[in-house]
Amino acid sequence: MLRHPFDSAAIAPSVKTPMLALIAAEDTTISPLHSELMIGKWGGKVIRKVFDGADHNTIQLAPGYWQNIQMFLDSFSSEKGSSDQ
């Protein structure tokens, strides 16, 4: 497993970018508790989805997984901004 020296928990409060947190309830690689702790520190809006019965290697097969990603991405395309004008 890749390990890195970054202190994500220390940086998270300053990140204002929205986050989609997709959590596999049975994940033993990145525990749901670790995910919840990061969500609690995040400085931006968080959309949190937990997939019961899924683990680190099967979450992408869970019903609603891809739909949640699509809805999250679509939420940015419908935002009104001055960059397109």
Is residue 7 one of the residues assigned to a domain? no
Domain coverage including residue 23: 14-70
Asked whether residue 33 is domain-assigned, the answer is: yes
pTM here is 0.83
3 within some domain: no
Domain tally, the chain: 1
Distance CA 58, CA 51 (A): 10
- Other C-beta atoms within 10 Å of 36: how many? 14
pLDDT tens string 44-85: 999 999 999 999 999 999 999 999 999 999 999 866 554 554
**How is residue 1 written in tokens?**
């497993």
